[in-house]
Structure formats: structure tokens, C-alpha cells
Structure 1
Amino acid sequence: MDGSMYLAYDYPVLGAFWTMLWIFLWVLWFVVLFRVIVDIFRDDTMSGWAKAGWLVLVIVLPLVGVLVYVLARGKGMGRRETEHVRAQQKAFDTYVRETARGTGGTSEVEELAKLSEIRAKGDITDEEFRRAKEKILH
């Protein structure tokens, strides 16, 4: 038989492990590199020249640049990421509220009138009416 047919037998399990480990480390390296580059652009406290300097350092000497950046500005990096996530969550919550309300939504007065009709029919108690009214007004 041809030697190329037995290729799987020539590749030991430990070799496959090392290959997967190196691939994982390369992917991890690119994730860290791009996180640092994104953080450089996200930081509002740095001037344009400082951003350009950090970017040149990270691109020209990636290993040294990323290591120095994380050591020098790592705490701020986490804070900026947290602020960014909070801003995204706030924007999403605002979007959901506006969408749930709808463009042709009813006004508070209309909602209170409907609520009063429901209470007058006896479908809800006075306590339920009071809680629903508080939700509408707040």
C-alpha cells in the first residue's frame, strides 16, 4: 500500500494535542491583540498622538507592545469595558421599552380610562387597580 494512506497512523495523539494547543494559543493571541487595539481606540482620556504611539508599538512589536499596554493600562481597560457594556445594556433597555410601547401607543390618560373601565366591570380589585395605576404613572 501507499504510505500516504497510513498518514493517520503516522500522526501520534500527542502530536495532535500539541497542534490543537498551538492553534488555541494563536487564537487567544489574536483575541488579546484585538482587545488591546479596540481599547486604544475606545479610551477617551488619551490624545490622538498617544493613541497613535500605542498603536504603532502594538503593531510593530506586538508581543512587547501588548504586554506593556496591559501592564500600564490594564485596570483602565477593564473599567472601560465595563462602562461600554453598561452603555450597551442601557441602550438596549431603552430600545426595548420604546419598541414595547409602540409607535402608536396609547397615552397615560387612555390607559387609565381603560383601567377604570375594567375596575368598574369588577374584573380587578381596588388594590390591583391601585398597583396598575402606579405602574402607568411611573
Structure 2
Amino acid sequence: MSIWDFLVWTFWVYIAVACIWIFITIIMDVFRDPELGGGGKALWVLFLVFVPFLAAFIYLIARGRKMSQRQVDQARQAQAETDSYIREVAGSTSPTAEIESAKKLLDSGAITQAEFDTLKTRALATA
């Protein structure tokens, strides 16, 4: 095997991987699109299976802009969910916040002075 054979082989492997990547991305987008009904999804998948290159070109031309917008929206939603989860888990762990929360409970009459003192001592002990 000469170096040129190896380079040609590498080029075609790259092309094959790129094509597979594009087909998988399009199929994922077809199923991710809420505007597209079940029949439309089935037709796009059949089109991609039987005439893959033509279907991929048509899909990218006709629906490429919405495809990228859906991807951006999904990334934003995932980031918002992650931020929300982090805020929920982190909570208010500072002693000041815990004492402030206990003071509000004391002022509203939900807890007694002894319970407030216990919560305050516990908050200061964790600091």
C-alpha cells in the first residue's frame, strides 16, 4: 500500500463518517421537531433511507434554519434547567440566611423562642 492509497482511503473514510454524522443529525432533528407530525416524520425518514443524499440536501436547504434554532433553544433550556437545579441544591446554606429564616418563623409565631435559639446555635455551629 503506497502513501497515496492510504491518503485516498483516509479521505473516503472521512467522507463516510461525515455523511453518517449528517444523516444521524437530520434524523434526530426530524424526531425532535414538534411542528412536524407523525406522517411527516415517517416520510422524511423513508426519504432519508431510500434517497439519502438527495433527502439530506433538501432537508438542509428547506429546514436548516429551523434546525439550528431548535438546537439553540434546546441548549438554552438545558442550561436553564441546570442552573435551576444548582440553585435548588445549593439552597441557602449560609448561617446568616438560616438565622434570618428562623427569625421570620419566630416573628410569625410558627416557632418558640427556645426553638429559635436551637436553630441559631445549630446554624452558628455549622459555620
TM-score, length basis structure 2: 0.70
Alignment of 1:109-120 (within 5 A): 109-112=97-100
User: RMSD across aligned C-alpha pairs, in angstroms?
Assistant: 2.4
Counterpart for residue 45 of structure 1: 35
Q: CA deviation at 1:18?
A: 1.2
Counterpart for residue 44 of structure 2: 54
Say yes or no: does 1:64 pair with 2:40: no
Counterpart for residue 6 of structure 2: 16
Amino acid paired to 2:67: M
Q: CA deviation at 1:106?
A: 6.9
TM-score, length basis structure 1: 0.65
Give, in whole Å, the separation in 2 of the partners of 1:40 and 1:56.
12
Counterpart for residue 29 of structure 1: 19
Q: Structure 2 unaligned runs (5+)?
A: 102-127
Give, in whole Å, the separation in 2 of the partners of 1:98 and 1:107.
17
Say yes or no: does 1:89 pair with 2:79: yes
Q: Structure 1 unaligned runs (5+)?
A: 1-10, 114-138
Amino acid paired to 1:73: R
4+ runs deviating over 6 angstroms: none
- Aligned residues, how many? 102
Give, in whole Å, the separation in 1 of the partners of 2:76 and 2:96.
29
Counterpart for residue 69 of structure 2: 79
Q: CA deviation at 1:76?
A: 0.6
Give, in whole Å, the separation in 2 of the partners of 1:52 and 1:34.
15
Instruction: Name the SS for the 1:39 alignment partner.
Output: helix
Q: CA deviation at 1:100?
A: 2.2
Q: CA deviation at 1:17?
A: 1.1
Counterpart for residue 136 of structure 1: none
Q: CA deviation at 1:37?
A: 0.2
Give, in whole Å, the separation in 1 of the partners of 2:33 and 2:57.
18
Counterpart for residue 122 of structure 1: none
